[in-house]
């Protein structure tokens, strides 16, 4: 009788994406066995597996890929986790390694998997999924490395409140409770003394903070989240800051905050409203252009200029209006054409801290990010009084789209986006 997995009674699932057996799989399973210790493997000769309903045959020289039924039966961590192998395909060919097409995940043997399982950017990747098919964490590999004994299994990311903790410290060592921050907007400052750009940005941020406090405002607080290498460096750097800090000992909380807000580099400035909703994860650029903090908490605008930073342009499809050599009056007119569409996209967000389905940018001056985009999209140099539109989808492998219309109007902008959403435009590949 064929074994089936019941979502109602099943323990969490570990989805392991790997390629190039036996080497890569041996490495990650070694780590898993060290962590949870009861993983059973079923990889043995001979050489071929066929999945009839998918018309897929996988040849594995010297190794045999387990069938879905075998996976269901044998890749188990008793009362703890099931491991499902998802072997990637190299350009749809088998190249001497054990491979299994990700489409097998739709087999009735397995509960439904969230889309993240088919959006793996690198391997090996270890994704944890709960008994209802909801993602627990996409960064199980890092969790295993930082928790080799599995104490925190299944590594469910903490809530914002859990990551922040109940206590913060002032630069004189005084302890402040989280209760004192009730009703305040927060700015989390990810920084470190060893970071050159941080040392350049911190003094400007200090001036702004002091100016905001001097104005009589008491509806905000900043919190330093340190990436310093030791507590002495943390204390020395914190002594230059007039705001609170996450205790250096709370490394787990700091790492959880970095993961929650996808902090890739420092300095990074994240703002949060009084209810715990994320306002901005890339507030550094806007804060740098607001020396008195009058626009705090620097909420993303429907249309942003690239001179203030790229925001989430690498993750979210972005429509860019390039008009570096248009007169200022014309730039205002063109931006006004873009604004209604941008506002409608922002208004459609499911929750206040959800990402919009598309971002909207302008490029009004030569140089910087705008020039880089022109080079990478082969747009050529900017011509006088000639705006151009380009739609970037960098998260889809560096793709971009152009629109044949030579005129930028409210209608042509809307049509460009509509054609993109309908899949009617030909994707082009950005150059490096």
Number of domains in the chain: 3
Residue 3 maps to a domain: no
Among 32-36, 217-221, 372-376, 415-419, where is mean pLDDT lowest? 32-36
What is the domain range of residue 127? 13-146
Q: For 300-337, write each residue's pLDDT tens digit.
A: 899 999 988 888 898 899 999 999 999 999 999 999 99
Give yes or no: residues 79 and 139 share one domain. yes
- Determine contact, residues 136/129, Cβ cutoff 8 Å: yes
Give yes or no: residues 90 and 169 share one domain. no
Q: Which residues, in sequence order, are CB contacts of 309 under 8 Å at separation 6+?
A: 282, 284, 285, 286, 369
Give yes or no: residues 330 and 388 share one domain. yes
Token digits of residue 48: 């071929």
Give yes or no: residues 54 and 130 share one domain. yes
Q: For 60-97, write each residue's pLDDT tens digit.
A: 333 334 444 443 443 333 333 444 444 443 433 333 33
Can you give the length of the chain in residues? 432
Q: How confident is the model at residue 261 (pLDDT cuts 50, 70, 90)?
A: very high
Per DSSP, the residues of 206-271 read HHHHHHHHHTT--SEEEEEEE--SSHHHHHHHHTT-SSEE--TT-HHHHHHHHHHTT--SSSEEEE
CATH number for the domain including 258?
3.40.30.10
Residue 387 maps to a domain: yes
The Cα–Cα gap between 392 and 403 comes to 12
Token digits of residue 118: 């088919």
Give yes or no: residues 327 and 283 share one domain. no
Give yes or no: residues 196 and 246 share one domain. yes
Quick one: pLDDT at residue 359? 96
Give yes or no: residues 94 and 199 share one domain. no
Give yes or no: residues 105 and 19 share one domain. yes
Quick one: pLDDT at residue 133? 76
DSSP code of 114? Answer: -
Residue 1 maps to a domain: no
Which residues on neighbouring strands pair with residue 59, listed in sequence order?
48
Residue 201 maps to a domain: yes
Q: Which residues, in sequence order, are CB contacts of 333 under 8 Å at separation 6+?
A: none
Nearest to 138 by CA among 17, 1, 265: 17
Residue 381 maps to a domain: yes
Give yes or no: residues 115 and 215 share one domain. no
Residue 7 maps to a domain: no
Give yes or no: residues 141 and 167 share one domain. no
Residue 355 maps to a domain: yes
Residue 293 maps to a domain: no
């Amino acid at each position: 009788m064929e074994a089936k997995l019941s979502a109602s009674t099943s323990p969490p699932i570990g989805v392991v994406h790997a390629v190039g057996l036996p080497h890569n799989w041996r490495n990650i399973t070694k780590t898993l066995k060290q962590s949870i210790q009861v993983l059973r493997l079923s990889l043995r000769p001979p050489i071929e597996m066929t999945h009839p309903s998918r018309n897929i045959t996988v040849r594995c020289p010297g190794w045999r890929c387990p069938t879905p039924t075998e996976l269901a039966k044998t890749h188990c961590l008793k009362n703890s986790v099931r491991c499902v192998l998802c072997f990637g395909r190299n350009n749809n060919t088998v190249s001497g390694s054990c491979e299994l097409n990700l489409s097998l995940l739709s087999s009735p043997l397995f509960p439904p998997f969230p889309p993240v399982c088919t959006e793996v950017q690198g391997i090996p990747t270890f994704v944890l999924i709960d008994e209802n098919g909801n993602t627990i964490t996409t960064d199980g590999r890092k969790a295993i490395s930082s928790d080799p004994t599995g104490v925190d299994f299944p590594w469910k990311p903490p809530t914002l409140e859990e990551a922040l903790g109940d206590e913060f410290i002032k630069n004189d060592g005084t302890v402040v409770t989280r209760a004192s921050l009730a009703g305040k907007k927060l700015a989390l400052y990810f920084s470190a003394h060893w970071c050159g750009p941080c040392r350049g940005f911190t003094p400007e941020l200090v001036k702004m903070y002091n100016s905001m406090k001097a104005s009589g405002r008491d509806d905000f607080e900043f919190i330093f989240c340190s990436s310093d290498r030791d507590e002495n460096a943390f204390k020395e750097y914190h002594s230059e800051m007039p705001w609170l800090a996450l205790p250096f000992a709370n490394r787990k909380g700091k790492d959880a905050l970095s993961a929650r807000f996808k902090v890739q580099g420092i300095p990074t400035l994240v703002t949060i409203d009084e209810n715990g909703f994320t306002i901005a994860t890339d507030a550094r650029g806007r804060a740098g252009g607001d020396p008195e903090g009058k626009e705090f908490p620097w909420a993303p605008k429907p249309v942003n200029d690239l001179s203030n930073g790229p925001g989430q342009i690498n993750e979210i499809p972005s429509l860019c209006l390039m008009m570096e050599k248009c007169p200022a009056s014309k730039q205002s007119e063109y931006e006004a054409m873009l604004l209604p569409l941008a506002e409608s996209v922002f208004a459609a967000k499911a929750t206040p801290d959800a990402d919009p389905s598309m971002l909207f940018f302008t490029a009004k001056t030569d140089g910087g990010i705008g020039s880089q985009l022109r080079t990478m999209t082969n747009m050529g140099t900017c011509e006088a009084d000639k705006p151009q539109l380009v739609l970037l989808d960098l998260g889809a492998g560096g793709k971009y789209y152009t629109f044949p219309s030579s005129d930028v109007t409210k209608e042509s902008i809307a049509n460009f986006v509509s054609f993109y959403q309908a899949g009617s435009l030909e994707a082009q590949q950005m150059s490096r």
